[in-house]
Structure 1
Amino acid sequence: MKLRKKQPINIYIILQSSIIILFLLAFIYILKEDWLLKYLHPRMAKYVWIAIVLFAGIILSYIKQLFSYKKGKRIPYSYLIFLMPILLMFLVPPVTIDSSSIQESRVNRMSIESNTTNNTESVKDERDNSSISQLNAPFNNSALYSNNGVLEIEKDDFYSSLMELYYDLDSYVGQQIAIEGFVYRDDLTQENEFIVSQLLMSCCVADVQLIGLICEYNHTEDLLMDQWVKVHGTLTRGEGDNQQMAVIKVKQIEEIDEPNHIYIYPY
């Protein structure tokens, strides 16, 4: 299809502006629907807002070119390729990952080793030591919150609470504990064990790893993988293969609703 030699409106600027406007609206929609939080740390939202402002600036800069004339050419259908990401965004809606998406090398159990000379503890990742650096990020090292003698660990303070146990487990052994998370089991868990877990995101979904505490429970067959539960029990130091770990002797389990946003953040 041929365009006339001169157009009252520059069709190329119209096409380019339309594509940029669509991207701008798509970014706003992603923020509005909280899709961003399925893939990125909340602190990354500021970069999306920066992109929105830049898109708006580009659109404004195009206005003065809107009535500039160009020699007639074929309409550049290659512009349509820029519409593919927007179409895919709606044809393939965002999904939240679960434990089946986590490689075994990205599962962290908290392990405490005592040093007889300086009484320090260290984290031991049984599968991938390179992931420890993410667990050593800054955290709130205040004591665990106790409600009527029960250590309450909820989603928002899950990471900082586990780090507190890592640094000072002996101060909490024998205390009652209530903790929220989802059920995870793998080849390393015993028949009477499961891990009450959360998904830790440092930057984006690509670095998500599973962290949690081992729970000893005599009715694990009643639990489903990825089922969200609140575990009530007694905090102990493990025995045998788990002797360097914090272990919960389960007394009661109650099912809870899955939160809207399943990730926790180290900072």
Structure 2
Amino acid sequence: MSRSSLWARVQQWRGVVLVVAAVVATIWLALNNQLILYIHPRYVVFTVVMAAVALVLVVASFLLRLGHNHDEPPTRAAARLSTIASLLAVAVAVAMIVVPPATLTSATVAQRDINSSGVGAEVQSVDAAADSSDAVFAAFTVLDWASLLRQTSDTSFYASKPVDVTGFITEDANDPDNVFYVSRFMITCCAVDAQPVGVPVYLPGWRDQFAVDDWVQVTGEFVPNASQSSTEQVALLPAAVTPVGEPSEPYLF
């Protein structure tokens, strides 16, 4: 087989191999519940279906082109660029399977405003939550409480309401020694648009027990923030702060 014929065969199979690699990576991540680290769960089924459709279409296109003449020899530069691009695409697809996707951390929080205006504002409202039972409040997530804290700093509203939240630790930039946030990322579409939300916790000397990015479960009640430097008017006074493992679904949706 001549060099040009061999190159023609490579060109025919290259697209199929790349698409198969991408499809396998996508389905693998979906089966291992890791695709949600990239996209919102509501898009998982759609993404898997589209990946399968893409595979069918590319294979069909390959079969239709089997009889075409691809004997025109490529230039050396084109051949090298095409080969490099193919190898990089395959490497990325393999890496998505072999290397576990990393959850966003406090490093990303530092680049984005935590509890920025509008993030999760529709999740809970003060009026709707006012008459909720203790069991309902105990089930509130970081996102639920963050939305309420953004709406009111009236400590009478939070009096005696049980708080039980889980998230990773992010320091309060204004009082990093005494206050930290129990943080999570809220995803609307994919990890690119992830926005950090957090509940401030007043715990002087917390660095002696925990580190930034540690996952913890915090229980307690909201009280006026005793910190003299933090901009948060209300903070969670913990009854217990317990180290926990990162949950299988670290993001909130």
**TM-score, structure 1 normalization:** 0.71
Q: 1:73 to 1:152 in 2, by over 3 A?
A: same
Q: 1:191 to 1:79 in 2, by over 3 A?
A: closer
For the 8 Å contact 1:24–1:56, the answer to whether it is kept is no
For the 8 Å contact 2:162–2:221, the answer to whether it is kept is yes
Q: Which residue of 1 aligns with 2:49?
A: 49
Amino acid in structure 2 at the alignment position of 1:260: S
Match for residue 132 of structure 1 among 108, 113, 117: 117
For the 8 Å contact 1:181–1:198, the answer to whether it is kept is yes
Q: Which residue of 1 aligns with 2:220?
A: 233
Match for residue 109 of structure 2 among 102, 106, 109: 102
Structure 2 counterparts to residues 28-177 of structure 1, below 5 A: 28-45=27-44, 46-47=46-47, 49-71=49-71, 73=73, 76=79, 78-80=81-83, 81-91=85-95, 93=99, 94-103=101-110, 105-108=112-115, 131-136=116-121, 138-139=122-123, 141=125, 142-143=128-129, 146-147=134-135, 151-153=137-139, 157-167=141-151, 170-177=156-163
In structure 1, the gaps of 5 or more residues are: 109-130
Q: Which residue of 1 aligns with 2:241?
A: 253
Q: How many residues are aligned here?
A: 237
**Larger fraction in helix:** 2
Kindly state the Cα deviation for residue 241 of structure 1 after the two structures are TM-superposed. Answer: 5.9
Amino acid in structure 1 at the alignment position of 2:200: I
- Mapped partners of 2:67, 2:236: distance in 1: 71
Kindly state the Cα deviation for residue 64 of structure 1 after the two structures are TM-superposed. Answer: 2.8
2:216 equivalent to 1:212: no
Comparing 168-177 and 50-59, the one that deviates more? 168-177
Amino acid in structure 2 at the alignment position of 1:259: P
In structure 2, the gaps of 5 or more residues are: none
- Mapped partners of 2:5, 2:165: distance in 1: 71
Kindly state the Cα deviation for residue 245 of structure 1 after the two structures are TM-superposed. Answer: 3.4
Kindly state the Cα deviation for residue 238 of structure 1 after the two structures are TM-superposed. Answer: 3.2
Q: Deviations over 1:73-109 (max 9, x none)?
A: 359554421331221343472322211232254223x
Amino acid in structure 1 at the alignment position of 2:86: F
Identity of aligned residues (%): 18
**What secondary structure sits across from 1:19 in the alignment?**
helix
